Amino acid sequence: MGDTVPNPNPILPGFHPDPSICRVGDDYYLVCSSFEYFPGVPIFHSRDLVHWRQLGNVLDRPSQLRLTRAWSSGGVYAPTLRHHEGRFHLITTNASSEGGNLLVTATDPAGPWSEPVPLPGVPGIDPDLAWDEDGTCWCTVAGVSQLRLDPRTGQTFGEPVRLWSAGPGAKAPEAPHLYRIGEYWYLMIAEGGTERGHAVSIARGPSPSGPFEPYPANPILTHRGVEHPVQNTGHGDLVQGPDGSWWMVFLGVRPGGGTPGWHVLGRETFLAPVEWVDGWPVVGEVVSDLSGVPWPLEEAEPEPERDDFDDSTLRPQWISLRDRPEDLVTTQDRPGWLTLRARGASLDADDVVFAGRRQQHLSCRAAVLVDAAEGEGGLAVRLDEHHHYAIEVAEGAVRVVARIGPLRTVVATRPAPAGPLELTVRITEDRPRDARGGPDVVAFGFTGPDGAATELAALDGRYLSTEVAGGFTGRVIGMYATAGTVRFDWFSYIPGGF
C-alpha cells in the first residue's frame, strides 16, 4: 500500500511512529518518536497535510538529549507538539536512566529549540499538553492520569489524578491528547497495545479534568481483525485540514509475507478523514492514495536520490546511534566525503559509529562509494544491534554479514579489489508463495573500480522485522566504521523495485 501511487498514504513512510501534529495558520508541523537515535524527534512541515518536508530535529544537541545509556527502543518516546501564545511547545520522554520527561520550546519550529525543562513531577510516558481558557496548563500522561504544570519552570501542582481509561480489560491506555472542541473537552487515547490490537478511543467532558463520558461506540479507529494492508492503527492526533474538515494522523504498519506477517519499516504515519457524528469524531477509511483530499495539493518536492556530502553539516535525515561526536562523524575532514572514525570493533555494539537514514519504501536500492583504505566498515540494514545485515570491507575482503538474535555469521566473502568500492543493497518486496513466505529479499553486492558488478548474497528480510526483533523502531540503512577511518564519497537511496 502506498509506495507507487501519486500522493501516498503513509504520509511519512518508514520508522515515523507516534505522530503529533500542530497547525499554525496555514502551516502544519508534525513530530515523531526517535528512540535510541541521535539527533532526536524529527520535525516536519507541510501546507497540505499530504506532502511533508523535514525541517530538522528538535533535540539536536547533546545538552538537550543524552542517550548513551538508552537501550534500543528506549530513549525518546511519543512527543506532543503544541503552539501556545506564540511559542511551540514539545513535551516528551527520554525513557532511559539519564532521562525522564522534558519540555522544550521554540518560536521557530526549525529551531533552535530551548534547553530542556526537566519535569521530575510528571510520571510515566506519553505526556500531553493542553491549556484551558484561564491559561492553566494540563499535562496528561499514559495510564491515564493528569496534573497541572507550569511549562516555564517544570513545576507540577498536586498529585496525578486518574482520568478515564478506555474499555474494560483493554491493555495499555496511552498516548492521551486533550482538546477543546466546541462545547466539550475531548480526551483521546490509544488502547490495546501498539501491536495488532491497537486502537484509538475517545471520551468527552465539561472540563479538561473531566468527568469524562466515553463514546459508546469506541474505538473510533482500529484495524484489529480487519482485512486491510495497514495494521496496528492507533496513537492518533487530531487536526483540521485547510478546508476546515477534520483529520487524524496516526501510526500503522504494513506487514508483508505469509503468516503471521512481518513489518520491516517500523510504525509509519498515516492520515485519515474524521467525521463528526452527534458530537463524536469517527475515523473514515484509510486509503492508499490521498489524491482525493478536498483541497488543492502542493507539488511534491522530490527528495534528492544522492547525498554527495558536500555540505559542512549533515542533512537532518541522517541519524546516528545514541550520539554523534563531531570528530567521529564529519564531512569536514575530506571535503565532499563523509568520514567515520571507529570507536568500537563491531556492528553488534550499541555505540557503533553509524550514520543512516530510514528505509522508507517496501522496495528500494541503496548504495555507497566507500574508501576503506585506512579502516573497516560498510553499509548496513539495521533494526538493532542484534538484528542487521551488512556488506563491509574488512580484513582484505568484501563480505556480507548477518546478525540474527544471538547468531552472527559471514554469509559470503570475496577478496577486496584495490581502490574505492561501490557497495549496494537492493531490497525487494516479496509476494508470499505460501503461508511461510517472508516479506522481502535483501540482496547485497559490490562494483569494483573495473566496473564489474558482483552479487554476494540474497537474504530473507523477515529476520529484520519487528515481529522477530521486537521493539518500537524500524529499519535504518546506513554507513558504519568498525576499525580505523572509513570514508564515503556518496550515498544514494532510490525507491522502487527493479
Distance in Å, CB of 150 to ligand 6LW, minimum: 24
Distance in Å, CB of 198 to ligand 6LW, minimum: 6
Strands 338-341 and 397-404: unpaired
Distance in Å, CB of 35 to ligand 6LW, minimum: 8
53 and 316 in contact (C-beta within 8 Å)? no
217 and 195 in contact (C-beta within 8 Å)? no
Set of cell numbers at residue 119: 519535569
Annotated active-site residue in 36, 48, 126, 174:
174
Distance in Å, CB of 461 to ligand 6LW, minimum: 22
Distance in Å, CB of 196 to ligand 6LW, minimum: 12
CB nearer to ligand 6LW: pick between 175 and 379: 175
Residue type for position 127: P
Q: CA end-to-end span of the chain, whole Å?
A: 18
Distance in Å, CB of 293 to ligand 6LW, minimum: 25
Between the CA of residue 479 and those of 4, 129, 235, 368, 461, what are the distances in Å? 27, 37, 31, 8, 19
Which of these, 108, 120, 133, 126, lies nearest to 55 by C-alpha position? Answer: 108
CB nearer to ligand 6LW: pick between 175 and 370: 175
Which 8-state DSSP code applies to residue 319? B
40 and 34 in contact (C-beta within 8 Å)? yes
CB nearer to ligand 6LW: pick between 194 and 482: 194
Which of these, 4, 23, 36, 440, lies nearest to 244 by C-alpha position? Answer: 23
41 and 76 in contact (C-beta within 8 Å)? yes
3-state secondary structure of 463: helix
Q: How far apart are CA 198 and CA 187, in angstroms?
A: 17
Distance in Å, CB of 193 to ligand 6LW, minimum: 8
**Residue 261 CB neighbours (<10 A):** 17
Q: How far apart are CA 445 and CA 431, in angstroms?
A: 22
Between the CA of residue 274 and those of 104, 240, 285, 443, what are the distances in Å? 30, 9, 9, 41
CB nearer to ligand 6LW: pick between 36 and 429: 36
Q: Where do contacts with ligand 6LW occur on this chain (CB under 6 A)?
A: 17-18, 33, 77-78, 125-126, 174-175, 190, 194, 234-235, 251, 472
Q: How far apart are CA 43 and CA 438, in angstroms?
A: 33
Annotated active-site residue in 3, 18, 128, 440:
18
Return the CA Rg of the chain: 23
CB nearer to ligand 6LW: pick between 253 and 421: 253
3-state secondary structure of 466: helix
**Residue 356 CB neighbours (<10 A):** 23
Set of cell numbers at residue 101: 520527561
Mark whether 174 is an active-site residue. Answer: yes
Which residue's Cβ has the minimum distance to ligand 6LW? 194
CB nearer to ligand 6LW: pick between 200 and 398: 200
Mark whether 298 is an active-site residue. Answer: no
Distance in Å, CB of 161 to ligand 6LW, minimum: 20
Distance in Å, CB of 464 to ligand 6LW, minimum: 19
CB nearer to ligand 6LW: pick between 36 and 460: 36
Distance in Å, CB of 144 to ligand 6LW, minimum: 11
Q: How far apart are CA 269 and CA 8, in angstroms?
A: 11
CB nearer to ligand 6LW: pick between 119 and 423: 119
CB nearer to ligand 6LW: pick between 77 and 337: 77
359 and 491 in contact (C-beta within 8 Å)? no
Determine the Cα angle at 234 with ends 232 and 239, to 5°.
140
Does the CA dihedral 185-191-194-196 come out positive or negative? negative
CB nearer to ligand 6LW: pick between 125 and 300: 125
Does the CA dihedral 37-39-45-51 come out positive or negative? negative
Residues marked as catalytic: 18, 174
